[in-house]
Structure 1
């Protein structure tokens, strides 16, 4: 099923910009020469900045899920695509709700669900948001919507992203949200 709307955004600013916040970065312990070699093996030459830490990342996903239910209705089914969670943080309760599926490669599953049920369906792909220096992401967030009563369902979720100053990306060339249409 073809999505009613797809959207890709590049996040450009830390959500706590202009405010002092304690550092939340986690570094590998570098005690011996082999530790430095392992660190070097995982280093990435990535020009995209790290904008959010793990805690801010989960807070962002929590805001998006709650905003989806607020704007699209309580029956909205959400498919949240993300990478491995942080080992020392629990997922927010909203991501553990029965109306939310969390995993990887969920675009087809979201489209299939939309074809089986008239309830609104939202796909949120946040696996490309960098959380630390080892992430390969480019701070792109992708969204797709099916069965929404509103003509512009993405506009209902955008207030949850205001602090991150999102910039819209062109999807006409089969860009980052193209896999939501397959």
Structure 2
């Protein structure tokens, strides 16, 4: 198995940029002083803007999956690393496809899959995309691809083009992300 092709992108624009959008925020009930105090206790001091609501977030993941299968082949396995899904929102059917695994900490699982079979494997870390003001995140999506030849993670860029992605150095990250050398070293 070759080392993975890696790409880290900071998303800088809402996918509906320039178009009117229906409000999709869910607010905590703020009726009494204690409600405001509770909200302040959970508020994030994060300077990164919220670019996506929950529905747009899952639509973005669906676009990434469909782009991976279109560009890398129908046998491509996709590992999507994300935080807990939102309640009261039906997830797109593509996220339940048998070629997709959703969860946390899936990088090692993706590496194992890539070592065990020749099919293309894609790992997408989307847990740092902010969906509301209480989220921490830096709006960076990380992509690693194995068994894809020259194509690499750039094959997924069309799914992100409306969000004006900017390539960044992989090691620029929030705590908990693996550095490039940790991903590429043999196990």
Normalised by the length of structure 1, the TM-score is 0.94
Q: CA deviation at 1:168?
A: 0.3
In structure 1, C-alpha distance between the alignment counterparts of 2:3 and 2:141, rounded to whole Å: 16
Residue 42 of structure 1 corresponds to which residue in structure 2?
Answer: 42
**Secondary structure of the corresponding residue to residue 36 of structure 2:** helix
1:162 corresponds in structure 2 to 161
Give the superposition deviation at 1:152: 2.9
Q: Secondary structure at the match of 2:160?
A: helix
Give the match for residue 172 of structure 2: 175
Q: Distance in 2 between matches of 1:3 and 1:126?
A: 21
Q: Note the C-alpha offset of 1:139.
A: 0.2
Provide the residue aligned with 1:100 in structure 2. 100
Offset from partner CA, 1:16-66 (integer Å, 9 cap, x none): 011111111111001122211110110011110000000000000000000
Q: TM-score w.r.t. structure 2 length?
A: 0.91
SS in 2 for 1:128: coil
* Contact 2:2 2:147 (8 Å CA) reproduced: no
**Rounded Cα–Cα distance in structure 1 between residues aligned with 2:26 and 2:183:** 36
The answer to whether the 8 Å contact 1:9/1:168 transfers is yes
| Cα pair distance change 1:94/1:109, threshold 3 Å | same
Q: 2:126 aligns to what SS in structure 1?
A: strand
Change (3 A) 1:25 1:6: same
Aligned position for 2:118: 118
TM-superposed CA distance for 1:2, in Å, is 5.9
Give the conservation status (yes or no) of the 8 Å contact 1:2–1:181. no
C-alpha root-mean-square deviation of aligned residues, in Å?
A: 1.5
Corresponding residue pairs, total: 179
Are the counterparts in 2 of residues 3 and 111 from structure 1 also a CA contact under 8 Å? Answer: no
Question: What SS does structure 2 have at the residue aligned with 1:181?
Answer: helix
8 Å contact 1:95–1:102 — kept in the other structure?
yes
Does structure 1 conserve the Cα–Cα contact (< 8 Å) formed by 2:114 and 2:146?
Answer: yes
Residue 15 of structure 2 corresponds to which residue in structure 1?
A: 15
Residues 2 and 111, structure 1, Cα contact 8 Å, conserved in 2: no
